[in-house]
Amino acid sequence: MFVGFGVVLIAIGVSSYRRTKITQSWPSTEGTVSATNIRRYNDEGTIRFAPEVDYEYQVAGQTHKSSQIRPEVFISFLDEDEAKRFLQKYPAGNKVQVFYDPATPTKAVIEPAAAPVRQKL
């Protein structure tokens, strides 16, 4: 039973990794950060802080909106100041490079490589 569960987890991880790698080859366009926010939430008794970046971009003359930062990754921090520091690179009104799925341009990210997020414990 444990082996089967392990195989399922490995398969999910490999699939997620492949989807993440694909975003690195997506075309990109210039976008604009429309708003940022830090969402505070309770994760099983632990207060966490999730940075949010809303941005707009155009593909083939159509305007799209997204808030996905990294592929397959939900970013959160235990420290609100860490979340604020993360958002410093995305002030509202600034231009950002947006990587979008050419088959589905509504799917986009602003950080195509899902780098691990350092967290203070």
Query: Model confidence over 23-65: pLDDT tens digits?
Result: 778 999 999 999 999 999 999 999 999 999 999 999 999 999 9
Q: Which two tokens stand for residue 89?
A: 């690179």
List CB contacts of 18: < 8 A, sequence separation 6 or more. none
pLDDT of residue 42: 94
Question: What's the mean pLDDT in 97-121?
Answer: 78
